[in-house]
Structure formats: structure tokens, C-alpha cells
């Protein structure tokens, strides 16, 4: 069964460092998303991406965040200068089109120390 895969599963980084979280969406999907879940809190939308550009972003997705689809398979989230409050589980998701269900990856746990 096709699935969304994310790497790494856990990343520890020092405050102020840049991190790149990687995702391989399901191959025939066209819409890609990043969500995050701070420990004990709800899953929150960060950004959606279609046709090589951002479709929508939340207020959380400020200038320190960026997304990219560098090739035909990967979808990345970059955090330029990490803060302690960026510590969370980051989920990548993809959907076949704008109105079908999103399938989530297993997540990358980011710990900023």
C-alpha cells in the first residue's frame, strides 16, 4: 500500500540552527502539506503546496519556514533558525487532489535544545 514517508524520524538540533525535514509523498498525489503537533496539543496546519507554489499558509508559517519540492519525489520543510518552541512532531501529508483525503506520514519529531 502506498504511503507517505518522512525522514528522519527524530531530529535534535541546537537553537538557531537550520533544519530540513524531508518527505516523500504518495507518487500520484498532487497536493502536499505540512502540519505540526506540539506535544499534548492538536494537529495544526502549516502550509499547503500545489503546482510548485504555496496554496495556503497559516500564521504559524512565518518567514523562518520555507517549503520546496526540489525534485519529482521529495517535499521538504526548512526551518531557518530554530527556536525552542519549534519542538514538535512535524507531519507531512499528501492528497490526490484538492478535495480528497490527505494521507499522513509517520512524522518527524523535532527537538530543539
Partner 1 sequence: QKEVEQDPGPLSVPEGAIVSLNCTYSNSAFQYFMWYRQYSRKGPELLMYTYSSGNKEDGRFTAQVDKSSKYISLFIRDSQPSDSATYLCAMSARGLTGGGNKLTFGTGTQLKVEL
DSSP 24-53: E--TT--EEEEEEE-TTS--EEEEEEETTE
CA distance 78 to 90: 11
CB of 50 to partner 1, least distance (A): 5
| R_g of the chain, CA atoms, integer Å | 13
CB of 105 to partner 1, least distance (A): 5
23-82 binders of partner 1 (CB under 8 A): 31, 33, 35, 41-45, 48-51, 55-56
Q: Which residue stretch of 11-19, 64-72, 74-82, 103-111 sits at the interface with partner 1 (rule: CB under 8 A)?
A: 103-111
Q: In terms of C-beta density within 10 A (0-12 exposed, 13-18 middle, 19 or more buried), how is residue 63 classed?
A: exposed
Residue 96 lies near partner 1 (rule: CB under 8 A): no
Residue 98 lies near partner 1 (rule: CB under 8 A): yes
CA distance 68 to 100: 22
CA distance 84 to 74: 26
# residues contacting partner 1 (CB under 8 A): 29
Among 61, 77, 107, 112, interactor with partner 1 by CB under 8 A: 107
Q: Which residues bind partner 1 (CB under 8 A)?
A: 4, 31, 33, 35, 41-45, 48-51, 55-56, 89, 91, 95, 98-107, 109
Amino acid at each position: 500500500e502506498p504511503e507517505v514517508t518522512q525522514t528522519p524520524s527524530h531530529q535534535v538540533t541546537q537553537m538557531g540552527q537550520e533544519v530540513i525535514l524531508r518527505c516523500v509523498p504518495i507518487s500520484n498525489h498532487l497536493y502536499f502539506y505540512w502540519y505540526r503537533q506540539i506535544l499534548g496539543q492538536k494537529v495544526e496546519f502549516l502550509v499547503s503546496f500545489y503546482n510548485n507554489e504555496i496554496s495556503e499558509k497559516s500564521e504559524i508559517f512565518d518567514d523562518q519556514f520555507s517549503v520546496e519540492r526540489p525534485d519529482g519525489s521529495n517535499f521538504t520543510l526548512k526551518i531557518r533558525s530554530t527556536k525552542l518552541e519549534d519542538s514538535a512532531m512535524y507531519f507531512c501529508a499528501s492528497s490526490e487532489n484538492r478535495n480528497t483525503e490527505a494521507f499522513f506520514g509517520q512524522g518527524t519529531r523535532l527537538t530543539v535544545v
